[in-house]
């Protein structure tokens, strides 16, 4: 029987929208779009792409830590970027810096807007807990 492990930050958006940050089912962890929320659930750095990207990666690390995983176990990611042409180089630089030599499958989508005013980046990803850390 497959067990399920749910992870939440306990921020209002989770109950307001009816979702979890991540769900582990079997060996895979499916992670909802991460963005620049602070520890208390407040949205940080409206309009600042570099700062939002850094905080988003920090939140991705929080999910990885919860499941005892590393970045090397991320098998795929989807990035949603406002003003992609303007932010493409920073997106690539941030991704290379975050993953180092690891190369997960990746899709980058340019979008006109995201959920919160001033939100410019969101990243969802999948973790395979059976891969070497």
Render pLDDT for 91-103 as a digit per residue (tens, 0 to 9). Answer: 999 999 999 999 9
Residue 116 parent element (H or E): none
Q: What residues have CB less than 8 Å from 120, skipping those under 6 apart?
A: 47, 48, 49, 52, 81, 82, 83, 87, 114
Residue of 63, 45, 12 whose CA lies nearest to 121: 45
pLDDT beyond 80 at 10: yes
CA distance 113 to 120: 7
Instruction: Could you list the beta-strand ranges (E) of 26-133.
Output: 28-34, 74-82, 105-111, 121-128
- pLDDT value of position 53: 98
Render pLDDT for 67-91 as a digit per residue (tens, 0 to 9). Answer: 999 999 999 999 999 999 999 999 9
- pLDDT value of position 1: 59
- pLDDT value of position 4: 79
Domains of the chain: 5-13+20-128 (3.30.1330.40)
Query: Per-residue pLDDT averaged across 7-36, rounded?
Result: 93
CA distance 121 to 36: 8
Query: Per-residue pLDDT averaged across 35-45, rounded?
Result: 92
Q: Pick 116 or 2 by higher pLDDT.
A: 116
Residue of 7, 131, 123 whose CA lies nearest to 65: 7
> Mean pLDDT for the chain?
95
CA distance 90 to 50: 7
Instruction: Quote the tokens at residue 13.
Output: 């958006």
């Amino acid at each position: 029987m497959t067990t399920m492990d749910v992870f939440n930050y306990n921020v209002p958006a989770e109950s307001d929208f009816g979702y979890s940050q991540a769900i582990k089912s079997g060996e895979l962890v499916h992670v909802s779009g991460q963005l620049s929320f602070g520890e208390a659930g407040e949205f940080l750095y409206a309009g600042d792409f570099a700062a939002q990207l850094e905080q988003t990666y920090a939140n991705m690390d929080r999910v990885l830590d919860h499941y005892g995983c590393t970045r090397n176990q991320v098998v795929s990611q989807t990035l949603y970027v406002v003003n992609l042409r303007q932010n493409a180089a920073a997106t690539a630089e941030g991704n290379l810096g975050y993953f180092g030599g690891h190369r997960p499958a990746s899709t980058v989508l340019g979008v006109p807007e995201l959920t919160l005013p001033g939100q410019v980046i969101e990243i969802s990803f999948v973790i395979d807990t059976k891969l070497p850390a």
